[in-house]
Structure 1
Amino acid sequence: MVMKDGVINGIASDAGFHFSRVEQIYDNLKNGSFFTFIATNTFHQTGAGSFLFYPTVFLYPWAFLRFFLDPVSSFYCWYGIMTFLCLMISYFSMKSFSKETSRSAFFALLYTFGLYRLRLGIVNLVLGEFVAYTFLPLAFVGFYQVFWGDSRKWYDLAIGVALIGYSHFLSLYLTVLIFITILICNIIIKNNLSKGRLLSLVKSIITAILLMGYVLVPFLTDYLGKNLKVPAKGAWFVNTINDLISSSLANGPFAAYNIGFFLIVGALIGWYFVKNNNLELSIYISGILILLMSTSFFPWEGVKKTFLGTIQFPYRLHSYGSLLIAVTTSFILVKILKKKPKRTRMLTYVAFLIIFGISYSGVIQTVNSKERINSAQYLAPNKDGSVQPLDTHNLYKVDKRNYHNIFQYSVTFGESDYYPKKSVNGKNTPEYIGKEGGIWQKVAFINNKKKNVIPVGTPNNLTYFIKTSKSGSIDLPVVAYSNTYAYINGSRTNYSISKRGTVSVQVKSGNNRITVGYKPSMAFYFFVVVAIATWACLFLSWIYRLNKHTRQQVIQKE
């Protein structure tokens, strides 16, 4: 990742998945279609439906930037916008919690520029989780307000959860799981949940559902009971507590188990500073337990096939551990400085900013070192036309000239996610998807004979022009979902699902123009309208509260 040189480094692993999704959204916007449901220009034009089941909301700003900037610059601009947004949300979330300006600033810096977020965004380009990280503070402060703070601010919880849902479903799953666990522990220990707070929780849940309804509809219509492939459960790359501590103290950006120097110090000494404050102690203990759970301290091998195995990589818990330990670390800094003279406090603030800035610059320079960039090879065109993933052990880089080479390779992780299981789990799996004769190779079966076909991709539609000498069946290399449709020569037609999970139609001899596309249920559009109306109501409510607060201040001054 080297902005000044116009280069994006580290194109492998998750990068291909997210860049392909943005490219498809951009192509559709250029052609006048706002919504993207299936891949018709990227993901090898297979009609892959990751857009249905993996949120795209915060990819749209990136796609819109493509109209004004080259592909590399648009990515960096989007990255900067998300970083600024994370800073602002972190600051105001802590301000809502603590009412302290200095603590809010400390927290925003510690959380936004934490090593785990930098690794998500800079090193590995794990962009779904990276975006979700932005909104965790808002969801957590909303959760606090509902159960322990000002329950009239229940909308913070609803908005925070909805924004996480717009970003990354796995992060939404983990967030809700952590909230349920904390709530159960609180009920067991204190058993003081009032009716008023329960009402605030219900209002939060209903509002969040109204805001997220349209991104959940495809799960109800096209996923549940449809036998689609999803990422496997597991617990991979589990490291020890010692690995977490040593890597964090080293403050290097490449280790998976790493929350950074400042946060690990806060985790190690935090108990001393929060021991006499029950609320801060509870937050600190929660953060420590989450960090411990991310390591081999927790028996992952025994639970990886359960609902906990959905996490896949336990170090994903570092987003939540970083959040809670950043709360504690900001508390430590403010507590140390609170009794100091004003001049000493100001000098200390400046010293902290200098030290923090030097540390952050060191990490960035490590990521963007000339040795690392020079060792990466420019991503070459896939000249032989074979569908193959990039070698994740190699570093690849792109600039605006070779950016589109990304889409000539299969995506290392995510290309076949949400395919029908029969497409990827059969005895002839290589034939069905990736090798010669597979879906990714654009191979159709015309009366059981292989033929390579090149579709014309338009927004949410793939059109094939195929001439046949006799009537029969054509098995097209486009996967089928519940709301997939097919037209032959302009007329709607029924289709069957082939043994490889693709669309199969019956045609007559002669020239056939076959269009396969996806059209969501009316419930999707209904909930889009509901979400817009709900956001409008929340905005008007915020304006009303702001005006009311302003009037009260004027009255008090008079």
Structure 2
Amino acid sequence: MEVNILIMLFFGIFSFLLTFVFTKLGTIVLSGDGSFHFSRVEELYDNFRNGKLTFIASRTFSSAGVGTFLFYPSILLYPWVILRLIFSPVTSFYVWYGLMLFITMCVAYYSMWLFDKDRVRATIFGILYTIFPYHIHLGIAHLVVGEFLAYTFIPLFFIGLYYCLVDRKKWYLLGIGWTLILYSHIVSAYITLLGAIAISIIYMIIDTKSIKKVMINLSKNIILVTLLSSFVLIPFVTDFIGAGIKAPNGAIFGYLGSFQEIFLESVKNATDTNRSVGVFAIFTTIVGCYFVKKSRVEEKIAYGLGVFILLCTSTIFPWRLFNNTIIGRVLGAIQFPYRLNTYVGFFLMVTFSLILSKLIHSISNRNAKVLLISGIMIFLIASYYGSLTDLFVKIHESQGNLLGKNTKLAKIIPNEAIIKNSNYHNIFDYSILYGEIDYYPSVSFNNLQEGNDITAEVNPKINSILSHRVIIGGKEKVKIPKVASNYIEYNVKADKKEKIDIPVLAYKRTKVMLNGKNVGYTASSRGTVMVDGEKGNNKISVTYQPSKLLYVGIIVSFITWIGLLIGLIFSKKRNVN
């Protein structure tokens, strides 16, 4: 126990060393998915302060009432929200980022300890896995927050899968790991599910005697995941399936790079590109075979999987041959093969930690061993900051180019906008760079294939929604709504009784009031709320009424977590006695 506490303290100090420079600089380069996730957090923060759960976007996402919060899990963003109550906006992000690095180290350490019972190796793996370039790319270089969160729990998922296959007592780690990934990022949960299915099938084919025990363990985990994640799954059943809602595109297989491109970016140890797996992964790919050849079979499998998945991230694997096929539909949700870099990082850092731990254990002199470990840690910190050189350059060269306040509706926020506390709220004056119109009704698009294009020329219906255009009897008029938690209100004056179409999206459980009375509505041709207006003033307010099943799901998940925790505590006490 004392050793574990010391290791946790070490991880805390290490995480601080990885983040304090950014906190000191007080600047965010808002690139990639940054505006999407910062808007999510801002909506959650505003509603949390008012004691409300979040279902639809009323203050952010152009106040269009999009159901992002129904279909994109947000629960693991609440630590950031709580930090936002304590610190300034920029500082709260970097403190949260440091916290997630710390948690990732702890999860990776614990998982490796269960796998090999070597504390030196487990500690090294915790750090290697955490500072893996693709992880840093997700977390701070391109702000892909959902995938960054999911990355944290990948080691727990795989050690849980390993225990399920070999029939160890900790079978439930698979269910816990997969649930936490599901809480973070749906696509990552889908990828890990495909991986678990493939690995389990191969294992049962090789060892047919294991089929029964593996199926029992997997079945128990399916039940556990269903209970723990019921509040995440229920909105898909009640509001998404059959509702004609546009999900992020599948079967794209975009941003493919050649292996040469991946190799060159990785040798630079860059984090500003999604193609880099870092110099340590390339080194391990080249020499790992030598180090695992005399190791147990699990080490060989980890190395083999790491190399295979690395090849799959490049054009060596014929991804586009699968477009418009059954395989393509199954794999299409991955969207971008570079997402597999998460798994490259996991498996190859398992092997690299083996290499380093063998090197350390080969030294008998205690002082020399301590000196070597210290040198490795200093080198890892240096390599981490070295991999972020491009980000530091952007921060220092753009200090005079802060994001200004926007006055034009439906204007997309510029990529790599420079954010400080002084202009933080300007983020929410713009349309989001990527993800603004995810989970819109499909009818809202004039050109569904160009779903990210919000211009009036390509998607005029989308543009009219983002521009707050109210349509009264066929005539458009720009109106700015009043908003509150899960509440959007438009005040419209009509010369006669006629149809009024307001730019708020209509979902299955959307509720509408006209002049204080509940009224029926229809979904307009642009997928928005349309009511029969009255002559004179029309106060049209839109809210969302979640299914009672959703609240049941929240209670079921909470009780299951409590029951699981109590069970683990009693189980540990029995083992001690």
TM-score over 0.5 for the pair: yes
Aligned to 1:412: 433
Aligned to 1:130: 148
Secondary structure of the equivalent of 1:402? helix
Q: Distance in 1 between matches of 2:394 and 2:59?
A: 35
Q: Using the TM superposition, give the Cα deviation of residue 519 of structure 1 relative to its aligned residue in structure 2, in angstroms.
A: 1.3
**Mapped pair 1:425 → 2:451:** no
Aligned to 2:24: 4
Aligned to 2:180: 163
Aligned to 1:219: 236
Structure 1 residues 436-455: aligned runs within 5 Å: 438-455=464-481
Aligned to 1:23: 42
**Mapped pair 1:545 → 2:564:** no
Aligned to 1:84: 102
**Mapped pair 1:109 → 2:127:** yes
Percent sequence identity over aligned pairs: 39
**Code of the aligned partner of 1:217:** I
Q: Distance in 2 between matches of 1:6 and 1:304?
A: 44
Aligned to 1:146: 164
Q: Deviations over 1:271-297 (max 9, x none)?
A: 111123211111111111111111111
Q: Distance in 2 between matches of 1:523 and 1:371?
A: 46
Match among 424, 427, 450 for residue 403 of structure 1: 424
Q: Using the TM superposition, give the Cα deviation of residue 183 of structure 1 relative to its aligned residue in structure 2, in angstroms.
A: 1.5
Q: Deviations over 1:132-169 (max 9, x none)?
A: 1011111111011110251x211111110000000000
**Structure 2 contact 409–466 (Cα < 8 Å) conserved:** no
Aligned to 1:337: 360
**Structure 1 contact 416–424 (Cα < 8 Å) conserved:** no
Structure 1 residues 329-368: aligned runs within 5 Å: 329-343=352-366, 344-368=368-392
Structure 1 residues 254-333: aligned runs within 5 Å: 254-276=272-294, 277-305=296-324, 306=328, 307-333=330-356
**Structure 1 contact 376–396 (Cα < 8 Å) conserved:** no
Aligned to 1:187: 204
Secondary structure of the equivalent of 1:369? helix
Structure 1 residues 476-555: aligned runs within 5 Å: 476-551=502-577
Please, which runs of 5 or more residues in structure 1 have no aligned partner?
A: 552-558
**Structure 2 contact 167–214 (Cα < 8 Å) conserved:** no
Q: Distance in 1 between matches of 2:375 and 2:32?
A: 38
Aligned to 1:554: none
Match among 107, 113, 128 for residue 95 of structure 1: 113
**Code of the aligned partner of 1:15:** G
**Structure 1 contact 110–263 (Cα < 8 Å) conserved:** no
**Mapped pair 1:39 → 2:57:** yes
Please, which runs of 5 or more residues in structure 2 have no aligned partner?
A: 1-20, 449-456
**Structure 2 contact 23–95 (Cα < 8 Å) conserved:** no
Match among 167, 172, 176 for residue 189 of structure 2: 172
**Structure 2 contact 26–420 (Cα < 8 Å) conserved:** yes
Q: Which runs of 4+ in 1 moved over 6 A?
A: none
Q: Using the TM superposition, give the Cα deviation of residue 336 of structure 1 relative to its aligned residue in structure 2, in angstroms.
A: 3.0
Q: Using the TM superposition, give the Cα deviation of residue 426 of structure 1 relative to its aligned residue in structure 2, in angstroms.
A: 5.4
**Structure 2 contact 108–129 (Cα < 8 Å) conserved:** yes
Aligned to 1:556: none
Q: Using the TM superposition, give the Cα deviation of residue 371 of structure 1 relative to its aligned residue in structure 2, in angstroms.
A: 7.1
Q: Using the TM superposition, give the Cα deviation of residue 365 of structure 1 relative to its aligned residue in structure 2, in angstroms.
A: 4.3
* Larger deviation, residues 227-236 vs 317-326: 227-236
Q: Distance in 1 between matches of 2:462 and 2:218?
A: 45
**Code of the aligned partner of 1:398:** I
Aligned to 2:8: none
Aligned to 2:67: 49
Q: Using the TM superposition, give the Cα deviation of residue 89 of structure 1 relative to its aligned residue in structure 2, in angstroms.
A: 0.6
Q: Deviations over 1:314-367 (max 9, x none)?
A: 111000110011111111222233333142433322221122222123224442
Q: Deviations over 1:184-221 (max 9, x none)?
A: 22223332324233222111111111111111111111
Aligned to 1:250: 268
Secondary structure of the equivalent of 2:208? coil
**Structure 2 contact 515–540 (Cα < 8 Å) conserved:** yes
Q: Distance in 1 between matches of 2:552 and 2:82?
A: 24
The CA RMSD measured in Å over matched residues stands at: 1.8
Aligned to 1:555: none
TM-score (norm 2): 0.91
Q: Distance in 2 between matches of 1:96 and 1:530?
A: 29
